[in-house]
Structure 1
């Protein structure tokens, strides 16, 4: 509390102006960096991905700078490349889906639909293409390509700056943590505990769940390819890579995420077997037993607890990832989980302390 009387003026002269300057400086920084918020959040995500590996290397004798460099070059950069490749492959797989593929699916699930009415031949698609070719808006395609190149160069530069930001966070994390504990937090054990829990939660979300999704994509792809190797004629699983990616990302949905994918595949295979060769019904049954029972059991019992832990309810994580991009933009996929972790830890740890502060301090006189 600020003292009264002459001490008020003395306090304002000694600290008040500095607090005013601090708020003004914060406003300037927020205004200057607001356009780069997404890249800052992405840098924090890369930091949490790189930190466990960098710490392990540091414990084995490497300096903080060397361990950070090795981690970013040999782990984080390939990791980001894998994420980019997975996303690109998913887009390519969707783009390469032919109309005949949709015809086959419609014939399996909706046999009454007349797929002959769909434009599948060159003669049927030619009028559509001709209309597009004569569209005057295509005259601006050169400008569009020029803008695309400019955006690509800008994004490349910002990605480079983001990697530098993550590098310095990884390299100087001990120095920053020590400065935060001694100069900012001080003797406040509640604040220290809160920050540690937030840090542990972000580590679990960013490092653990990302690895979990990638592991499920890889394992599902291997299993789907193995099933196709033994599949009866005409019962192969379509678009194995795309379905493996969908299986991994569906794991974010609690309880039913992967089961929806399995059920869709089983339904497709079962209808195909019934219409072609009913003796092949053993294949979708075997697929469901392996994926719905064995595979899911391994994921729930070993993969997910080992990689991501159980710090937060899966439903909260789902909403953080789903609502983040619509609310914040593309970087909401990273900022949404951060907001979720900070909020949940506060509600779990600090809110009960605030609500019951009088009861806790009335008898002891201890400061919260």
Structure 2
């Protein structure tokens, strides 16, 4: 009997990491029912981070919360309470920006000037109200470029214009910030706040939040300089962190706001892997299967499949890749086998229409071929 670990990331906008792992395992088990299957769904701080922890940590509890979404609409979400540990005797809260202030909540809409991170901050505040010892914050999939002003506002900070009035939400309010009052800002919990991100971009400049990620959120090329200047104004007034720190530009500058608050930024995939016990699971496995939605030339830079492959390589375990699509520029040399759902289904449209079906088919294929 072999032990097979299934550790995919989510196929963004299609299926969660937990459901992807379950579908792959189901397909594998239909061919090799005697194998021991271990589900360790992965995440890098974006969509699916809560699901990854919930699937991997026994005794975790979803804590419902209603927050202000990126478009100011009331949004039902949840944060995850992990059981107490010696380092976090009152438990750890996992809070995900994607499900509270994420771009997926907008559907096909883009609100480049008004989208904001207040809902993420409200979920963090709810976890603090519960009395947790530690925070783990996933900040991928942001809808906004507000520099984390919404987040900090929900935690008690006040951002005012020259007349002392609260500035507008979102990127449009950045240029009007004249003063910042942090006297009521809630402190980081005793066990600290760990920020998960797969982004290493600084806050400002041509490699910063506005220039690199703003267009994905609807900013026009002519808007980028103005938003970058607004973020620079925020950084100068807020202080507390270096805007050139790798990851400060994550989530539209939310990374910088969290650094200024006192949180610590870490590579998302590596930290999630440690927290869910993936290194031990891989070390005792015969085969590991990982994956994501689109595996391309950028996937080696901090994405979950690359980290899983590195863990497997370090222990001499075979690793396979399953992806919604595998781009022509992708390097799959680290994998003993690779499967594209688009190729299996015959088209991207068919794969997206029923991802669980084709993930099961991929699991069957790998069980026969490995």
TM-score interval (norm. to shorter): under 0.3
Larger radius of gyration: 1
TM-score by length of 2: 0.28
Point out the structure with the larger strand share: 2
